[in-house]
Every structure is written in structure tokens, then in C-alpha cells.
Chains A and B, each alone.
Chain A
Amino acid sequence: MPDATRTHYQAELTELEVRSLGGLDLVSETLSRTLEAIRHSDVELAEMVIADDDRIDGRYLEVHQSILNLLATQAPVATDLRLIAALLHVMKSVERMGDQCVNIAKVIPLTGHEPPRDEEMMRDIVTMGHQVKSLVSQCKQGFADRDVELSRDLVRQDDVVDNLNRQCFARAIAIGDDIEMREWGITMMLVARALERIGDNAVDIGEQTAFVVTGLFREFEDASHPGPAVG
């Protein structure tokens, strides 16, 4: 076999993937702080989460520009082309995950410093948060290792998040007549909804892993026609 060529381009492509998947590490850090802020109604920490989203947005813009440069100058094809197309999706998901953390951080001050709280619902929210953080880590691992099975398993892990989300909804309805408690419950529903969306973004990244490996772009699950996973 002849010697490898285009080593500079290959190095650029590798760096692009590292920078993109590094975006998921930023999300993971942000998510930890967001969960901490929820648990302790920490308004200052929530403000830090909002300010720090610029780092994730910056990474998104940086990777986006690098992708444009590679497309314009290197004319990638085959697996390289699929990888670059997938990284564009991955970064969009990373950016959306960051935004969901901001959405959560923005509602934390609404509940005040010492809100009434329902421990059962709070427990579900925290469990959801940990599960979502695990999904973020799993989707990164799946992509980095090109592991389709691990990526497909994200659907199963995301079902846990979806169930907890439904549980939160039921709890928010049953939370009682106290107006402040209801306000807190509804706010926590918004938090649960944002966490649930982050889980979906992690599954989207898993679908991109399968695309890079197989060349077929299929949703693992069709939200509008629920059924067994396809593709």
C-alpha cells in the first residue's frame, strides 16, 4: 500500500472532531453547575451558567467556521464527508444543549431564594439531571469510538429520562392548592422539559454516529410514529 498522503488535512480533521466532541465536555460541566443551582436554588450560580454559555456558543461558531474552511479547501468525500456533515449536526446539538441549560438557569430566580419545594419532585429532577449527564457522556463516547451499539443504547437510556419527565408532570398536577407551591411545581416542569430535550439531543448525536459508520441517516425512533427502533 502506498504511503499515506494528505497528512495535514487528516490532522485538521482529527482536530475538528476533538474540538466538536470537546463541546460535549463543556455541556457536561455546565449541566453539573445547572443541577447544583437547581438543587440549592443558587441564583448566582445560575447567572454564571448563563454567562458561561458564551463558551459553548463560541465553540459552535469556531467549529462551524473550521467546517466551512475544510469544505472549501479540501473537498472531503466518503467517510470524511460524512464525518464533517455529522460534526455540523453534533455542534448544533451541543449548542442546543447549552441553550437548554440557560433556559433552566433563567427560571431558577423565578422560584426565589427559599421556595417551597416538593422533595419527591426534586428527587426526580435531580435523577433526571444525572441520567441526562450520563447520556451526554455516552453519546460522546459512542461517537469517538464509532460504536453504533452504544449509540443505539442511548434510546433506552433516554426512555428513563422520558419516564421521569412524565412523573414530574404528574407530580406537578398533584402538588396541591398552595399557589407558591404550584408556581414552583410548574417552574420545575419547565426544568424537566429542558432536561428531557437535552436527552433528545444526545440521541440525535447517537444517530449521527450511526450515519458516520453506516452511511445511512435514520432516526433511531420516529417521534411522530412511535414503534421499534429502525435503521
Chain B
Amino acid sequence: MSELTEERFRERAEAPGNDAGDGTSAAAGGSISVQPDEFHHARDIGELEKVFELESLSVSYAGVPAVKEVSMDIYKNEVTALIGPSGCGKSTLIRCLNRMNDLVPTAEVTGRLLYHGEDLYGPKVDPVQVRKLIGMVFQKPNPFPKSIYENVAFGPRILGMKGDMDEIVEKALRGAALWDEVKDRLDSNAFGMSGGQQQRLCIARCIAVEPDVILMDEPCSALDPISTGKIEDLMMELKREFSIVIVTHNMQQAARVSDRTAFLMVELDATEQNRWGRIVEYDATEKIFTNPGDPRTEDYVSGKVG
């Protein structure tokens, strides 16, 4: 195991008052700062610990830029939402946060991405350990073709986690607000569950390995409103223990669940042949949805432009 892996990250993640921040959060070109107004409820960033620090982060696929120069800080025990129109790079961005883009051979990430102060893309960092600490839940629930129990136990077993597996599974299922619904059929195939239950199972599978951060890429887009409501309630619970970053097309969902919202939009070059995503505004969610600072954010969240 390399020196910049789980122990180092976990040590930093758990250190009290680690890197409390300087009171500003740079966004596009470092020009946007988070200044919560007195009537906004997001916590003062001066009190918050940074989980991620993105500094001019750009991603390209086969030399074609997908996201350009994103600078923002993501804070511990908060839900941070990434919103924006299709093609603005929000999924690309969230996939950078646990090095999922490593799996795309043509992907190139430039700039800096610090995780608890350590370079996430440093040469000695083990991407597998990164993905254990920074779990991900996808748009479409993707349970394994196994029992409910085995789905949750899979990760802890692979990682050789110590402890009573039954307890680990129960704790994860309780954490995902699923225990009461499945405790009597843990041996049933996960494919027999409803879509909403399958998604919560994926969340249980994610938290079973005791991550630090949960990334969610459109976690509710395939779910009905009741299941969506359950996942949203769950996020409010989960953020007590974990930090959450969510990509969502549903702006009302971002407004309901997140503490901070980043709005990205598509930029075109002069030829209009090439397009990439860029961050326009990043601020407390209440501010974004009641009094955004940038007219482009205003137009997007109001649905005035599509």
C-alpha cells in the first residue's frame, strides 16, 4: 500500500478543525466567492473543513476539452449539488472526484484536486483506495445479481474488513433506511426489489465500506416521487456522517437537499464546433435559488433558458 492511501486520507479526514478555510471559495477564474448573507442558512464557510479543493481543474477526452478551469471547495458534512444543462460537464466533474475518469483511456485531468489537502492525482495514490473512501451511486440502480445480503457484504469482504458481517450488513441497511423493508428477506435476490429499494441498496453497499464521501450521479432520475423523497430524506441523514456531492438535472431536488450549489454551463468556441463546461456560480443553495449573483444562473434556475 502506498504512503498516500487510506491511512493518510482517513487521518486527515478525521483530524478536528483540519484546514478551516480562508473565508473565500473561488469559482470561475477565482472571481466568485461564497459570502453567505445573514438570512441564508448555509454555514459560514470559515467554520467548515474542506474535503475537496479544486484548483483550475480541467478535463479533456482525446484532447477535446469537456470541463475547463473549475475552481471550488467542497465542504465536510454538506450536500453539494452540481447543476447545469446537458453537456455542461457535471458528470465529468463528479467522476474526477473519485478518479473514475482513470478508467477512460483518453481522459486527461489537469489542474489540482486536493482531497483533505493531499493531491488526489498524486503519483503514489492508489485509485482503488480512493474509490473506497469516495464511493459513488449511479443514475440507474446497479445491484449485483446476488442476494440483498451479499450485495452489501461484497465490498467489506473484498476489502477484508474486520468485524461481524451480519452487523456490518445491518448497519449499512439501516443507514440506507432499508433495513425494516428487507430484514425478513435478506436472502432474496436484489433484482426482486423495487427501483427505489435497489437504489437504497446501492447506497447501503456504498456506505458498508465506511467511505468518507458519497458521490451521487443523478441518483433519483429513474425513480418515482415517493422513492425520490425517501432518497432525499436519506441524504439529509447521511450528511451527518458523510460528505455528499450530487449531480442532478432536477433543480428543485438541488434546492431541497443541498447546502451549496454549483451551476455549470456550456461554453462554445468561436467556431461553435467545440463546447465545454465551465462553472458560472457557486454559492449557498438559498442564495442560488432566491437571489443568484449571475444573470445566467438566474435564467437557468428560473427555466427561462433550456
Query: Bound pair: A and B?
Result: yes
Q: Cβ of A1 < 8 Å from any Cβ of B?
A: yes
Report chain B residues within 8 Å CB of A216: 37
Contact assessment for B306 and A81 in the assembled complex, using a CB-CB cutoff below 8 Å? no
A5/B305 contact (C-beta < 8 A), A77-B251, A79-B298 known: yes
Contact assessment for B290 and A81 in the assembled complex, using a CB-CB cutoff below 8 Å? yes
Contact assessment for A2 and B289 in the assembled complex, using a CB-CB cutoff below 8 Å? no
A-B contact count (CB 8 A): 43
Contact assessment for B289 and A77 in the assembled complex, using a CB-CB cutoff below 8 Å? yes
Measured in the bound complex, the distance between the Cα atoms of B304 and A4 in whole Å is 5
Contact assessment for B291 and A215 in the assembled complex, using a CB-CB cutoff below 8 Å? yes
Contact assessment for B303 and A82 in the assembled complex, using a CB-CB cutoff below 8 Å? no
Q: Cβ of A80 < 8 Å from any Cβ of B?
A: yes
Report chain A residues within 8 Å CB of B289: 77-78, 81
Contact assessment for B306 and A75 in the assembled complex, using a CB-CB cutoff below 8 Å? no
Within 8 A of A (CB), among B266-306: 289-292, 297-298, 301-306
Contact indicator per residue, chain B 142-158, by CB within 8 Å of chain A (1) or not (0):
00000000000000000
Measured in the bound complex, the distance between the Cα atoms of B299 and A80 in whole Å is 10
Report chain A residues within 8 Å CB of B252: 75
Contact assessment for A77 and B304 in the assembled complex, using a CB-CB cutoff below 8 Å? no
Q: Cβ of B255 < 8 Å from any Cβ of A?
A: yes
Measured in the bound complex, the distance between the Cα atoms of B265 and A1 in whole Å is 11
Quick one: which of B251, B255, B290, B297 contacts A82, CB cutoff 8 A?
A: B290
Measured in the bound complex, the distance between the Cα atoms of B289 and A3 in whole Å is 21
Q: Cβ of A6 < 8 Å from any Cβ of B?
A: yes
A2/B306 contact (C-beta < 8 A), A77-B251, A78-B301, A79-B298 known: yes
Q: How far is the CB of A121 from chain B (nearest CB, A)?
A: 45
Q: How far is the CB of A17 from chain B (nearest CB, A)?
A: 15
Q: Cβ of A10 < 8 Å from any Cβ of B?
A: yes
Measured in the bound complex, the distance between the Cα atoms of B291 and A1 in whole Å is 21
Contact assessment for B306 and A5 in the assembled complex, using a CB-CB cutoff below 8 Å? yes
Q: How far is the CB of A75 from chain B (nearest CB, A)?
A: 6
Q: Which residues of A contact B (CB under 8 A)?
A: 1-6, 9-10, 75-82, 215-216
- Sample 7 A-B pairs with CB under 8 A, ordered by A number: A1-B305, A3-B306, A5-B306, A77-B289, A78-B291, A78-B301, A82-B291
Contacts A2-B305, A76-B302, A77-B255 supplied; 6 other A-B pairs, CB < 8 Å? A5-B306, A6-B304, A75-B252, A77-B289, A78-B298, A78-B301
